[in-house]
Amino acid sequence: MNNTRFATVIHILTLLAKSRDQWLSSDRIANSISINPV
């Protein structure tokens, strides 16, 4: 479970870093890791 959480956090941080000048919705972030947005 911890490996999955770590990988998810790294994925989200990378996505945010690459999209620094763009607004990312929770829907966009959730879709990138195939989960439902909150």
Which pair of tokens denotes residue 8?
């998810």
In a domain, 11, yes or no: yes
- Domain total of the chain: 1
- pLDDT tens digit sequence for 11-23: 999 999 999 999 9
Residue 36: the pLDDT is 84
- For the chain, give the percent of residues with pLDDT over 90: 71
Rounded to whole angstroms, the Cα distance separating 10 from 8 reads 5
Is residue 1 scored above 70 in pLDDT? no
In a domain, 18, yes or no: yes
Which pair of tokens denotes residue 12?
């989200």
Q: Say what the pTM is.
A: 0.74
The boundaries of the domain holding residue 10 are 2-32
In a domain, 38, yes or no: no
The conformation of residue 38, written as its DSSP 8-state character, comes to -
Rounded to whole angstroms, the Cα distance separating 9 from 18 reads 14
